[in-house]
Structure 1
Amino acid sequence: MNSAISAIDDTDRALVHALQLAPRASWERLAPVLGARPETLARRWERLTSAGEAWITGLGLRTGALSPCMAWVEVMCEPGASPAVGAALVEDAHTMGVEHTTGGRELLVFVAVPDLHTLYRYLYFRVQLIPGVTGTRSSMVTAVHIAPDRWRLDQLTPAQSDLLTGRTRRAAGPLVPTAGVVAAMPMEDRLLVLALAGDARRTVASLARESGMSESTVRRRLARLEAGQSLRYSCSMASALSGWPVSATLWAEVPEYEVAGCAAVASGLRETRTCMSVSGPWNFIISARLRSVEGLSRYTADLSRRLPGLRITDTAVALHVRKSEAQELDQLGRRLRTVRPDIWQDPAPHA
């Protein structure tokens, strides 16, 4: 048995689940929920993060009041070229995710840029000029129904989750994002947001020192960005250690008038990690975390049974997730490093 895997226990997974619910909560706040001393939790988290087995990412990709321009990009490569192409794409600030997949494409890449013109420059003056790339196919994201930061390990009991979040438990139902006013991101907030990409639990004092702001200014800006959902936190655990080691992507067609209902039903399935509307020959993309490859057929069957109007047109299993939410990963899904997600930089400065 892999020694790294055997060292992970249910308390570690419960800690990750708690931080998925409250990413910047103090150890003192988490201690009574998890039944452990604050210093014990701090030591566990230090061990997990030092080994790349868990981490918390902070992402804020807005440009002013505008959402980022996002796309799923399928990359086709010459025989034997996909490892080198994947390594090149991992280095780009504009790629949030890079996967080697099964199916009709060698690589599946999730891209975020400020606007359509930057996406054009990235695709035609960067991606398509990488040696070994033979073609690309892009699907623009037109709506995000479920974002990856909503996926949970579900290690805590409902009572523990409610205690941590302060919620009163109501009748169970699908978790669907609610509409609200999203805060704009001024240009001066970008450096603050980028500083949280590798470690979203950084202290206000360290952020103030790095940014040159006062601590009160940092607190005020963080509170505004968090409240307006311009800054989102995502706590992750290495896939091989989480109990959900398989990543899969599904392309589907859904009647436009059924999109909201399909998103609500898909979000109620345990495996669903993201759900987005896209442009192209299909209009729906779902990504899922599975306990095994065999679980893909059960998941697609469950989706089809619950959603008669949804027609799955293609599926792909990730052979190797090289990058996720701006983090470079190894073959077990452990974090190697953060690739600074400065999506506002020119992706092809010499073009």
Structure 2
Amino acid sequence: MHAAISAVDDTDRALVHALQLAPRASWERLGPVLGARPDTLARRWERMTGAGEAWISGLGLRTGNQSPCMAWVEVTCAAGTAPAVGAALVGDPHTLGVQHTTGARDLLAFVAVPNLHTLYRYLSFRVQRIPGVGATRSSMVTAVHSAPDRWRLDQLSPLQIDQLTGRTRRSTSSAALAGPAPSNMTEEDRPLVLALASDARRSVASLARETGMSESTVRRRLGRLEAGQGLRYSCAMASGVSGWPVSATLWAEVPEHEVADCAAAAIGLRETRTCMSVSGPWNFMISARLRTIAELAHYTSDLSRRLPAMRVTDSAVALHVRKSEAQELDQEGRRVRTVLPDIWTEPTRAA
């Protein structure tokens, strides 16, 4: 049972920020950077994770060397059925995010599957057959310019950030941003990846016991997947205690030849959490974390000033984020449970 009053303070937020930068770093490594004893950091993390106020998840959704087929799905529901429809979608492994929103749709879901045919089956034989669903509209993700795991809190100093990342500020503007070529994810890797979905700080020994692999095999596979970005870690904090409680989504039109420049400018804004090119009525989609609802107007205005070629066509505020990156959340944004993101399962089994 979650406590009614949270004990989270700025030191806890600094710890989460540090783990966003170095998710599997030891407490001994984090201690000098944060000015705290390793055992103190471990106790703080155990308290937050136990209360659902913070967590680190692992996601690896590739199929071989192919990225997953991803889509944003807008769902319109019959009156009074949106909570039940949302609950049904939250339980599906293929739907990684679900939120009740303002605007023309009742629900906005983020779906990931191995290929287009699986997406067709999931939408046609699962989503559209949930009682209460009136209509759906899908927008395929054609490019991910910034993913949720790159969004950071703002508790650490530039020096602390450099200590954890092992790089200078100048290196972020160099070709180093491109990173290594994506690595393949084999079927044999999937049990390891799924074992990290609820807790990406699990020890190698624990992962070896669960997957039946040797510890050396686990280390080798983790190293390969991490180096090739086939496995991404995401450290998150409950929105109600993070200082950034409001989630908003914007849709926009951008000239195709200016998409890259617009994406770079949008990512440069502190509030931007994700930025994607999509198919459908509009070709650009941005999600943001805000401190207050009133900041949405300022954020949209800032985007328009920086991106004169972009025309914002629609926006929505999340009334309740029920699921994010495979984690089911309560109304305060605290984690309730992990829904195993086994996107390779047959979609009709969820029916």
Contact 1:145 1:177 in 2 (8 A): no
SS in 1 for 2:345: coil
CA–CA distance in structure 1, aligned partners of residues 174 and 46 of structure 2? 34
| Aligned mates of 1:172, 1:192 — CA distance in 2 | 30
Cα-to-partner distance string for 1:297-348 (whole Å, 9 max, x where unaligned): 0000000011000000000000000000000000000000000000000011
Does the aligned pair in 1 maintain the 2:97–2:109 contact within 8 Å? yes
Match runs of 1:337-348 below 5 Å: 337-348=337-348
Residues 133 and 244 of structure 1, relative CA distance in 2, 3 Å threshold: same
- CA contact 1:146–1:176 (8 Å) conserved in 2: no
Residue segments in structure 1 that go unaligned for 5+ positions in a row? none
**2:131: which partner in 1?**
131
Cross-structure match for 1:241: 241
- 1:272 aligns to 2:267 (yes or no): no
Post-superposition CA distance 1:241-273 (Å, at most 9, x none)? 000000000000000000000110001100000
Residue 180 of structure 1 and its aligned partner are, at CA, apart by: 4.0
Is residue 75–residue 108 contact of structure 1 (8 Å, CA) maintained in 2? yes
1:73 aligns with 2:107: no
2:260 and 2:207 map into 1 onto residues whose CA distance is 39
Q: Which residue of structure 2 lines up, in the alignment, with residue 205 of structure 1?
A: 205
Change (3 A) 1:20 1:4: farther
**CA distance in 2 between partners of 1:207 and 1:327 (Å):** 20
Native 8 Å contact 2:72 2:111 kept in 1: yes
Distance 1:297 1:350 in 2: 39
- Name the aligned partner's letter for residue 61 of structure 2: L
Matches within 5 A, 1:137-148: 137-148=137-148
Structure 1 equivalent of residue 96 of structure 2: 96
Measured in 2, the distance between the counterparts of 1:283 and 1:159 equals 38
Contact 1:145-1:176 at 8 Å conserved across structures: no
1:328 aligns with 2:328: yes
Could you tell me how far 1:152 is from its partner in structure 2?
Answer: 0.2
Shift of 1:75: 0.3
Q: 2:56–2:236: 8 Å Cα contact kept in structure 1?
A: yes
CA distance in 1, matches of 2:5, 2:267: 29
1:218 corresponds to which residue?
A: 218
Q: Give the % identical residues.
A: 77
Contact 1:5 1:240 in 2 (8 A): no
Amino acid at match of 1:348: T
* Equivalent residue letter for 2:164: L
Q: For residues 177 and 115 of structure 2, what CA distance do their matches in structure 1 show?
A: 24
- Quote how far apart the aligned CAs of 1:350 are: 8.8
| 8 A contact 1:276–1:284 mirrored in 2 | yes
The TM-score, its normalising length taken from structure 2, stands at: 0.97
1:47 aligns with 47
Distance 1:177 1:92 in 2: 34
Consecutive unaligned residues of structure 2, counting only runs of 5 or more, are none
Q: Which residue pairs with 1:36 in the alignment?
A: 36
- Aligned-residue RMSD, C-alpha: 1.7
CA separation in 2, counterparts of 1:176 and 1:128? 43
CA distance in 1, matches of 2:93, 2:176: 29
Give the number of aligned pairs. 350
Tell me if structure 2 keeps the 8 A contact 1:173–1:268: no
Q: Is the 1:176–1:267 contact (alpha carbons within 8 Å) kept by the matching residues of 2?
A: no
Secondary structure of the residue aligned to 1:61 is: coil
Alignment of 1:146-165 (within 5 A): 146-165=146-165
Distance in 1 separating the partners of 2:8 and 2:263: 33
Q: TM-score, normalised by structure 1?
A: 0.97
Separation of aligned partners in 1, 2:5 and 2:72? 31
